[in-house]
Structure 1
């Protein structure tokens, strides 16, 4: 009888042990690829409010880090291997879904046609990532932050309102972005505004010195104002970029609201908190079994204008009342 009780107890313990192990076995794996940013920023408690928004939304949806979701981060400290090599490593790790911000989306298109990818990127249709925004097909979905020439035209118009003498515009961006959809969009917007645009290109991976050297050449080249292009890389190096532009005393408009907090004159930006929440919803849908090709790309449509009045004063600029009234945020 005792032997029967012992065997029964052993079987019950084994079943309980197996049941207890099921949540671990059921964990999903999310790989985040953003080689411009340190992996330490890709956390729930990060200083980066955009990643905080991503993880908070995932948690709200029931995807809880280190519980039912394992997050593998591929950040700046791994970028020395080179982007193509790093992308291959991510693909070999075979996660359930990949989240990629920026230009890396194209590398993943070449590297895998089976692993679901959520991309926060420029025009996914123009890049060949999706058949359409509504029905992407394939293994990509995500958020499109490219509205064609319209956002660049709006930034040029706002900069001209702040600085009416605008005639020759230096445009700072990554070479890969300029050679993709961004370049034609900026050129079209500048032509429509009657402004000459001078591309000022930096090669990835970048350093603070590469931006400093680039910016130092802008005034001698004859530009009278600056526009900085969208990329995670400029977000990471925003303090040094804003400081160097301040040192050459040219008015500039930036792509992310965070720039006004480090001395940037003005920004006209997407609401990246909202966009990361949208990306989190796509990640959640994939983890619950929805094919990425059936999940529409979300098109960014909400924008924010921010101004730094201290910087305007340092540049001897009178901020128009109309511009001040339309600002979503003003740094005094």
Structure 2
């Protein structure tokens, strides 16, 4: 199929209310609001408002959450493309489907490494119709998470890593194996398939326990964030320490998380959306790579696990839950 690359995104005609579509295969549409329980959606809409993009006044928002994914991701993407919004914000998995189906609708993605997964050729000048923000900061993030987990749990032996097979085989596996090898930690990969459900995560946690691991790490996938309460509760029943990738997991009882700044990244997304609606080509907007991280520790959970949180770890934590 021949896709024609646009030279630039057209500026909005006077009097026309631009349309933003938000797409997520992991989260329900009900979370995609200015009053969302998820702080990053609140940050997105607050920044859009600051930029003069107010839903119902100067911006129309269409939501394509996981509840609309009844015929498969490609079919839902096709529905969005037929609707022809002025810009699409894709949260997590899905950006590749948009790349395959449209070269004209501007896309802003919250993704992993956009070069490794074939979205763009360059971070500085993405080209085409896709830009966004990347939560991928290279293989070092895995090593840092292992280091922090070992600091709070010096008895770390075999580590079970829960992630999606698709992500593991594409970019994550080699980096995680290298990080575990460098740390001298035996690794058991626990891989699940999309689509994800509570039953899928429950089975993955059971597999992690049966692997003989004495600690767990949960990958930084949107699905893990969406199902964080179930994951944290299930892992709590195992009695194993666990490292998470989202602050929100620690807020609901997880032991420790080393996470990227999702609220800050969504402010960047809002700026990209605003620029595109002002007529800037997405291909000319640099793909932003995350550089800010948050360390969160739940002291109550540590005590329940019989762990003592080192004073140095508490001093360096951005969020401490007593």
For Structure 1 versus Structure 2, the TM-score category normalised by the shorter chain is over 0.9
CA positional deviation for 1:80: 2.0
CA distance in 2: counterparts of 1:102 and 1:193, whole angstroms = 29
What is the match of residue 129 of structure 2?
139
Among candidates 265, 281, 292, match of residue 302 of structure 1:
292
What is the match of residue 268 of structure 2?
278
Among candidates 166, 170, 190, match of residue 176 of structure 1:
166
CA distance in 2: counterparts of 1:182 and 1:100, whole angstroms = 20
Work out whether 1:257 is the aligned partner of 2:247.
yes
Counterpart secondary structure, 1:177: helix
On the 8 A contact 2:24/2:93 being kept in 1, the answer is: no
Which stretch of structure 1 is more off in the superposition, 283-292 or 120-129? 120-129
CA distance in 2: counterparts of 1:80 and 1:175, whole angstroms = 21
CA distance in 2: counterparts of 1:65 and 1:304, whole angstroms = 30
On the 8 A contact 2:190/2:207 being kept in 1, the answer is: no
CA distance in 2: counterparts of 1:280 and 1:184, whole angstroms = 33
Q: Which has the higher helix share?
A: 1
TM-score with structure 1 length normalisation?
A: 0.91
The superposition leaves residues 161-196 of structure 1 with CA deviations (integer Å, 9 ceiling, x where unpaired) of 111222311111122221222222222211221222
CA positional deviation for 1:123: 0.5
What is the match of residue 313 of structure 2?
323
CA distance in 2: counterparts of 1:63 and 1:163, whole angstroms = 46
Q: How many residues align?
A: 311
CA positional deviation for 1:87: 1.1
What is the match of residue 33 of structure 1?
23
What is the match of residue 47 of structure 1?
37
Give the unaligned 5+ runs of structure 2.
Answer: 1-11
TM-score with structure 2 length normalisation?
A: 0.93
The superposition leaves residues 144-170 of structure 1 with CA deviations (integer Å, 9 ceiling, x where unpaired) of 110111111100100011112223111
Among candidates 149, 155, 159, match of residue 165 of structure 1:
155
What is the match of residue 7 of structure 1?
none
CA distance in 1: counterparts of 2:156 and 2:93, whole angstroms = 30
CA distance in 2: counterparts of 1:95 and 1:196, whole angstroms = 47
Give the unaligned 5+ runs of structure 1.
Answer: 1-21
Higher relative contact order, chain-length normalized (CA < 8 Å, sep 6+): 2
CA distance in 2: counterparts of 1:135 and 1:273, whole angstroms = 24
- Give the RMSD, CA atoms, in angstroms: 1.5
Change (3 A) 1:75 1:298: same
CA distance in 2: counterparts of 1:115 and 1:98, whole angstroms = 7
Which stretch of structure 1 is more off in the superposition, 230-239 or 180-189? 180-189
What is the match of residue 95 of structure 2?
105
What is the match of residue 242 of structure 1?
232
What is the match of residue 220 of structure 1?
210
